[in-house]
Amino acid sequence: MQSANVLLKRIVRSSVLPFAAQHGVKKDLFPLRRTLSLSLCMKQDNSCNPSEKLDLDAWKKVMRSGLQEEVSETVSESKELSAVAAARETLEMWRLAGRAVPENISEEQLKTFMECPSKSAKKKYLKYLHLKELYKKNDKRKLEEKRERRLEKEQASKTDETKKTSFICLWDSSMDRAYNWRVAQSMVFGQPLVFDMSYENDMSFREVANTVRQLVLSEGCNRRSVDPFHIHFCNFKDDSLYHKEFIKHYKEAWSKLLITVTDQCYTEVFPKDKLIYLTADSPKVMKTFDHNKIYIVGSMVDKSIKTGVSLARAKRLGLETAALPLEKYLLWNSGAKNLTLDQMMHILLTLKDTGDWKKALEFVPKRKYCGFVNKPVHELKKTLNLINTLKFGKRQEEVRKQFAKSYSKKLTQK
């Protein structure tokens, strides 16, 4: 009821205002002013400078005039603002002031906004909502454009007869059936891959939501691969935040997914000596992909840099750990060495199929590395020198040489 009221008020205000203002201006101000200024102009046309014939405070009258009626209506009814309404009003004002604030905000989002502990947290949250809204709007616009284009095309090609082909059109559903068949097979014969779902307490709500999104993506690419893993979600508690987010993504399909979900720990499901925990903090570097081992990936998005959380978990259970050989194969540029879950999935799938590190590490985001360490080290050094002489001239060449030297030393040590 209250929100309806607010809405109504807003509609009234936004639609009536400009009209009233214009109306007011035209009726009361313009005729008078026009004649006045006209006569003024006529008299002193050539003599006066432009600032004198301008009424500089005219805007104030405009602003005040059209508003009297509306004010008298609103003042009486809403003296005291409730906290929610006040927050909504503030948001509206921020939007008018040109800040990054979403146009529409739901009651739930408003509540989250009010619960933010600090001003900067509030600002951040609003910016996030604002960007989300922008993306959504853009997507919608693109979709509509696409639809229009398609309609045009259809109208243009309506005259054509339907062509006959000797191939059956494979629809999505039959593709799905084929994929599902493969995954079902992997559930019996495939290599297990474990996602450790015990990090809920280490993450914020947004991080859990991101994690689940990444898991959904990884499940999708596993399903479409030639030889899928048998995915296990271990330490999975019913009615946990993970669970709720999964249901948001999968809806009814959640119960039909061809994966194993269990609240048991992986140490209870599999023999301990076969488990390898993959973590970027591990001192050990993975050399080859072992088809007889069971790899564990921690389902955690770590935005606040909590170093060593998953390593601690593996240490506690006395499991073997391993990190991807990123340093060995890539000239690392910047960014953290922890990868997203779907990138991990791509890498592991490629390793499983081909055993080719170069191919697998293509899935590391390009911004994070400069290139592959594909040639012998001395050749790499040569090209690096060449590039740098071209780039920086002679003086800095020396510095670069030093760098290349130390880098190659690091490589040979490993």
| Min CB(75)–other proteins separation in Å | 9
| Min CB(306)–other proteins separation in Å | 8
Closest to other proteins by CB, 127 or 224:
127
Closest to other proteins by CB, 119 or 158:
119
| Residue closest to 322 by CA, chosen among 294, 361, 283, 354 | 283
| Min CB(180)–other proteins separation in Å | 39
Query: Encoding tokens for residue 9?
Result: 């008020």
Closest to other proteins by CB, 14 or 162:
14
| Min CB(366)–other proteins separation in Å | 31
| Min CB(9)–other proteins separation in Å | 10
| C-beta of residue 144 within 8 angstroms of C-beta of residue 152 | no
| C-beta of residue 273 within 8 angstroms of C-beta of residue 326 | no
Tokens 């479409």 label which residue? Answer: 224
Closest to other proteins by CB, 35 or 383:
35
| C-beta of residue 311 within 8 angstroms of C-beta of residue 279 | yes
| Residue closest to 342 by CA, chosen among 284, 385, 299 | 299
Closest to other proteins by CB, 71 or 134:
71
| Min CB(105)–other proteins separation in Å | 15
Listing DSSP states for 305-369 in one string gives --TTHHHHHHHHHT-EEEB--HHHHEEE-SS-S---HHHHHHHHHHHHHH--HHHHGGGS-GGGE
| C-beta of residue 260 within 8 angstroms of C-beta of residue 233 | yes
Closest to other proteins by CB, 119 or 378:
119
Listing DSSP states for 173-205 in one string gives HHHHHHHHHHHHHHHHHSPEEEEE---GGGS-H
**Residues in contact with other proteins by the rule CB under 8 A:** 17-18, 21-22, 25, 49-51, 54-60, 62-64, 66-67, 71, 74, 78, 81, 86, 89-90, 93-94, 96-99, 119, 202, 283, 307-309, 311-313, 315-316
